[in-house]
């Protein structure tokens, strides 16, 4: 299924209106539906308001036509009755017609027509028909009234067009105008009633209920997201989720807890296997070194040196593997550490060995960290930078919540294809298998494992202008407690 490019562009343009969280999206959808329902309610309110406005002039028009009919029934000639009605203030035009006209009124005028008939028959209780043909609401300029006029801000005139069965075969066509003066009430009060009672109070109540309900429904998902973040930071220390709530939430929490258990078991089994193999390799390697020392070096000097070099490589690999497994353990010996002093001490030791290292900046306040593991991570970063670049810069930076150490060199850089996986075990930025130009691909893996154990991170990137690699170790000043289930 393909998406139209214009729709995609429109969707991208208005993406800022769509919240990222489930909580925000549910609130937006429910509030939008509530507002749509509220506008429908407002249309009903306006209809009721329209009927209320017409009640007084309709009663007045019904009384007027009843007055005229009573005059005609009392024996007054038509001309005298019209003259007397005009003298009494009845603003009406009446003419005879042989046949009734079909009504032209709108559906909204049905209630007005019934009210007009009821008022007329209260005065003249006979079987004569009174029909409302049409009705118009006009402002002071004779135009159809708008909502501003209906609210009472402008004078309102109502024009009724009616027909009355005066006698069998005789119909009276009546046009009656009810001019301004019958309206009551403050128009601002009407508008205030609409805004406050119909909109503000209902919207505030409904929005508050929607927010509370959505928060209650989305809370289990929020707990699941926090637990997933804790699992990403350190799988062995993540707190299991509480298996409570609706059925779907309980099932998801149970599946999440089982997944966490399986991951922890697999990691522990892997660590035990690698640790056992690495530890057990030390004994045969020690015996091999002893036997090499007992051999006659005069006859097999070259072979003996090669074997010793191979043993050194194996020993280095075993030690690196054990260091990596140890680095993945959760940092427990936390203490306040002056990161500036620690980095300065490591750089000074390397400078005394003749390496070109420059240090600048400051991280500010101390951080909570494991001293030994952090020293190992910083040492690996510095040694790795010196291995591929002769000049190394160390930049210290700090924020209220984090401290960072950035190690820069001017070496060949890392291939772009390896940047995303360079911190994985046994991945080297230098493609050759020659260990004289690098280790076994565990140095950066150890650094990242130590960073994760401190709830920090390691970011690797190439320097686009100066060349070389930038390795930034970012650590929180204080480690967050594991999320509650």
Q: Distance (Å, rounded) from C-alpha 65 to C-alpha 79?
A: 15
H or E stretch at 108: none
333-476: which CATH architecture? 2-Layer Sandwich (3.30)
Tokens of 333: 């010996």
Q: Which of 113-117, 138-142, 250-254, 389-393 has the lowest mean pLDDT?
A: 138-142
Q: Are 131 and 163 in contact (CB under 8 A)?
A: yes
pLDDT of residue 1: 47
The confidence band for 475, taking pLDDT boundaries of 50, 70 and 90, is very high
Per-residue burial over 325-340, b if 16 or more Cβ lie within 10 Å, else e, is bbbbeebeeeeebebb
Task: Report the run of H or E that residue 333 belongs to, with start and end.
Answer: none
For residue 133, what pLDDT is reported?
Answer: 86
pLDDT of residue 27: 79
Beta strands 367-370 and 402-409, pairing class: unpaired
User: 403 Cβ partners below 8 Å, 6+ apart?
Assistant: 339, 363, 364, 367, 396, 397, 474, 475, 477
**152, pLDDT greater than 70:** no
Model confidence at 327: pLDDT above 70: no
**Higher pLDDT, residue 268 or 446:** 446
DSSP letter string, 16-28 = GGS-SSHHHHHHH
| Helix 78-87 / helix 22-73 crossing angle, nearest 10 deg | 130
Mean pLDDT across the chain? 76
Query: What pLDDT sits at residue 55?
Result: 78
Q: Where do the domains of the chain lie?
A: 23-191, 234-329, 333-476
C-beta of residue 212 within 8 angstroms of C-beta of residue 28: no
Residue with tokens 């000639």: 77
Say if residue 333's pLDDT is above 90: no
The C-alpha atoms of residue 91 and residue 178 are separated, in whole angstroms, by 7
How confident is the model over 196-218, as pLDDT tens digits?
766 777 778 878 888 888 888 77
> Is residue 387 pLDDT above 60, yes or no?
yes
pLDDT at 329 (0 to 100): 59
Q: What is the pLDDT of residue 415?
A: 82
Report the b/e string of 38-50 with b at 16+ CB within 10 A: eeeeeeeeeeebb
Using the predicted structure, report yes or no on whether residue 242 has a pLDDT greater than 50.
yes
Q: Is the model more confident about 405 or about 25?
A: 405
Mean pLDDT over 243-262 rounds to 82
Give the lowest-confidence range in 247-251, 264-268, 300-304, 380-384.
Answer: 300-304
Q: Taking the model in full, what pTM does it have? A: 0.48
DSSP 144: B
- pLDDT value of position 18: 66
Class of domain 234-329: mainly alpha
d(CA 180, CA 187): 14
- Give, in order, the Cα–Cα distances in Å from 359 to each of 93, 147, 392: 102, 74, 9
pLDDT of residue 147: 55
Q: How many CB atoms lie within 10 A of CB 15?
A: 9
Q: How confident is the model at residue 291 (pLDDT cuts 50, 70, 90)?
A: confident
Q: pLDDT (tens digit, 9 = 90+) per residue, 40-85?
A: 766 666 666 666 777 778 888 888 778 877 877 777 776 666 666 6
pLDDT tens track for 427-443: 766 655 444 555 667 77
Residue 280 has pLDDT above 80, yes or no: no
């Amino acid at each position: 299924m393909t998406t139209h490019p214009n729709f995609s562009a429109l969707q991208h343009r208005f993406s800022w209106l769509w919240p990222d969280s489930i909580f925000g999206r549910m609130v937006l959808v429910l509030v939008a539906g509530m507002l749509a329902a509220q506008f429908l309610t407002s249309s009903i309110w306006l209809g009721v308001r329209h009927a209320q406005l017409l009640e007084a002039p309709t009663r007045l028009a019904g009384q007027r036509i009843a007055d005229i009919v009573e005059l005609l029934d009392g024996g007054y000639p038509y001309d005298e009755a019209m003259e007397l009605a005009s003298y009494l203030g009845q603003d009406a035009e009446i003419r005879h017609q042989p046949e009734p006209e079909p009504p032209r009124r709108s559906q909204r005028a049905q209630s007005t027509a019934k009210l007009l008939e009821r008022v007329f028959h209260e005065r003249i209780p006979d079987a004569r028909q009174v029909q409302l043909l049409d009705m118009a609401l006009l402002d002071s300029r004779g135009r159809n009234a708008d909502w501003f006029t209906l609210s009472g801000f402008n004078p309102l005139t109502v024009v009724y067009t009616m027909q009355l069965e005066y006698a069998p075969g005789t119909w009276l066509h009546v046009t009656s105008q009810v001019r301004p003066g019958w309206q009551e009430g403050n128009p601002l009060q009407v508008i205030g009633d609409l805004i406050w009672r119909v909109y503000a109070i209902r919207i505030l109540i409904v929005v508050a209920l929607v927010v509370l309900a959505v928060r209650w429904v989305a809370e289990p998902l929020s707990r699941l997201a926090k637990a997933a973040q804790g699992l990403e930071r350190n799988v062995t220390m993540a707190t299991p989720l509480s298996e409570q709530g609706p059925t779907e939430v309980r099932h998801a929490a149970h599946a999440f807890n089982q997944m966490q258990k399986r991951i922890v078991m697999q990691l522990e089994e892997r660590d035990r296997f690698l640790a056992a193999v690495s530890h057990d390799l030390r004994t045969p390697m020690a015996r091999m070194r002893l036997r090499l020392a007992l051999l006659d070096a005069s006859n097999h000097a070259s072979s003996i040196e090669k074997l010793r070099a191979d043993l050194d490589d194996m020993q280095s690999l075993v030690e690196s593997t054990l260091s990596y497994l140890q680095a993945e353990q959760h940092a427990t010996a936390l203490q306040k550490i002056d990161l500036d002093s620690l980095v300065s001490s490591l750089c000074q030791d390397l400078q005394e060995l003749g390496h070109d290292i420059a240090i600048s900046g400051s991280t500010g306040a101390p951080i909570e960290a494991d001293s030994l593991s952090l020293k190992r991570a910083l040492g690996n970063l510095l040694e790795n930078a010196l291995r591929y670049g002769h000049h190394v810069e160390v930049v210290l930076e700090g924020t209220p919540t984090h401290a960072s150490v950035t190690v820069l060199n001017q070496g060949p850089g890392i291939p772009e294809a390896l940047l995303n996986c360079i911190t994985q075990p046994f991945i080297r930025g230098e493609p050759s298998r020659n260990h004289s130009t690098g280790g076994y691909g565990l140095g950066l893996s150890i650094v990242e494992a130590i960073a994760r154990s401190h709830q920090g991170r390691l970011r690797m990137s190439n320097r686009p202008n100066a060349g070389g690699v930038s390795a930034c170790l970012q650590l929180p000043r204080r480690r967050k407690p594991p999320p509650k289930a």
